[in-house]
């Protein structure tokens, strides 16, 4: 079973990328489950065509764990992709990371992963909270992919995530599988992302150019794989899923100092 997690700066396009990759894997005949680890409950929206009607934490609060089954927690999405949302507290109330811990423990107890080919965790933001590090720390995910653009703060977040992977790699089998470039039309962006990946000891596994078609599909609450499967942009997601499927370049990263990162961005920006 492929156990992968997507990390990256908030707003960089992790959920859109994750949903399209999940859809692409399902078209390859794989049994796929996408788990949204974000209190916003929107990771699986494009697969379900709506916000998930309930989250694990919703049901835990309602039933206090009593009598919960896997069918209660799983929502079937496009082409049979299983969709699960961890959920979390309202903004400003409680710890969102704690919700991830509770949710993944519940899924493990219910043997949610026993009959799957691919499990994809879509994880909120940077690795600064212990809860968000759970997929890495507890071995739920074995391959980490960092979604980043060529913008400085996106790369800064990617570098911080690489630090987290480096720290937890010493304890288990988790490794960094690569950087997924999500285009923002930054000058020489693909070259910059490739240079950054090389410097921290990994690869630019894919570069997805900016496209209006992604936005059009999102308006229709669909992945591009479902909305325009033959489009050139959809093929970038298909290629990414195929690259992840066959990826053998799994490494322990060597993060950069911030000053070195700034110099790299400046060099490619001039």
Catalytic annotation, residues = 9, 14, 40, 126
Name residue, tokens 């890495």: 136
Nearest to 51 by CA among 75, 27, 79, 23: 75
| Span between the terminal Cα atoms of the chain, in Å | 44
264 backbone dihedrals φ, ψ, rounded to 5°: -65, -45
Give the dihedral sign, CA 196/189/160/165. negative
> How far is residue 261's CA from residue 203's CA, in Å, rounded to a whole number?
16
In angstroms, the Cα distances linking 193 to 108, 138, 228, 265 are: 35, 29, 27, 9
Distances in Å between the Cα of 188 and the Cα atoms of 50, 94, 155, 158 are 36, 41, 14, 18
């Amino acid at each position: 079973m492929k156990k992968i997690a997507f990390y990256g700066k908030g707003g960089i396009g992790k959920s859109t990328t994750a949903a399209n990759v999940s859809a692409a894997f399902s078209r390859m005949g794989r049994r796929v489950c996408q788990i949204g680890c974000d209190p916003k409950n929107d990771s699986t929206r494009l697969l379900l065509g709506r916000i998930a009607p309930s989250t694990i934490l919703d049901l835990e609060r309602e039933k206090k764990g009593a009598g919960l089954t896997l069918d209660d927690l799983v929502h079937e999405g496009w082409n049979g992709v299983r969709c699960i949302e961890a959920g979390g507290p309202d903004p400003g109330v409680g710890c969102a990371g704690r919700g991830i811990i509770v949710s993944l423990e519940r899924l493990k107890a219910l043997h949610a992963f026993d009959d799957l080919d691919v499990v994809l965790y879509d994880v909120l933001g940077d690795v600064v909270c212990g809860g968000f590090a759970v997929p890495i720390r507890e071995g739920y995910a074995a391959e980490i992919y960092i979604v980043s653009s060529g913008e400085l703060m996106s790369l800064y977040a990617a570098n911080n995530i690489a630090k987290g992977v480096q720290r937890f790699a010493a304890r288990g089998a988790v490794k960094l599988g690569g950087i997924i470039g999500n285009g923002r039309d930054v000058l020489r962006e693909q070259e910059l992302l490739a240079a950054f990946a090389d410097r921290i000891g990994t690869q630019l596994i894919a570069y997805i150019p900016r496209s209006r078609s992604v936005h059009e599909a999102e308006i229709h609450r669909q992945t591009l794989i479902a909305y325009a499967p033959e489009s050139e942009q959809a093929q970038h997601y298909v290629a990414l899923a195929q690259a992840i499927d066959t990826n053998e370049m799994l490494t322990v990263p060597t993060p950069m100092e911030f000053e070195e990162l700034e110099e790299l961005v400046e060099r490619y920006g001039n």
